[in-house]
Structure 1
């Protein structure tokens, strides 16, 4: 499945529901004066179905996990250039903490 990588929701396709494991949907919700970014579960029957999680909360949790990663010097030798974005996403996906 191809994912559209956009600046407004960089974890689209990575972030999964902590209750059912399905990918979270990303969307903008209109407030009184501006729009707010959210991720939400769209799996019917899930306890988190339709519950919105602010983008900053999910991306902040992701940043905290990334900060704890400490690759060995040999890790860098085996990595391909980041031009293969989809390959890098597939490599990272199992390493990301479920939300």
Structure 2
């Protein structure tokens, strides 16, 4: 896992808002950061091959993105959830949600 930085070595951020989403894997609602498909794809392309962006807080708690897809549906991006954004981390994941 590593912090996603821009060309000036600043933490990368993304526009969106916090919300809750039902996760059958977690057995209830989880906190998510809701973003547009276009914005999400833009940060995915900034991560190293095989890594996926995840929002996190200063205590290194990882959250997941809820992506508003072009067809109006919403999907949870791949990632590990540890509870609890401004900077982003990229975490390796062997699967893609898109």
TM-score scaled by structure 1? 0.23
Which has the larger helix fraction? Answer: 1
Higher relative contact order structure (alpha carbons within 8 Å, sequence separation ≥ 6) = 2
Larger CA Rg, structure 1 vs 2: 1
Which has the larger strand fraction? Answer: 2
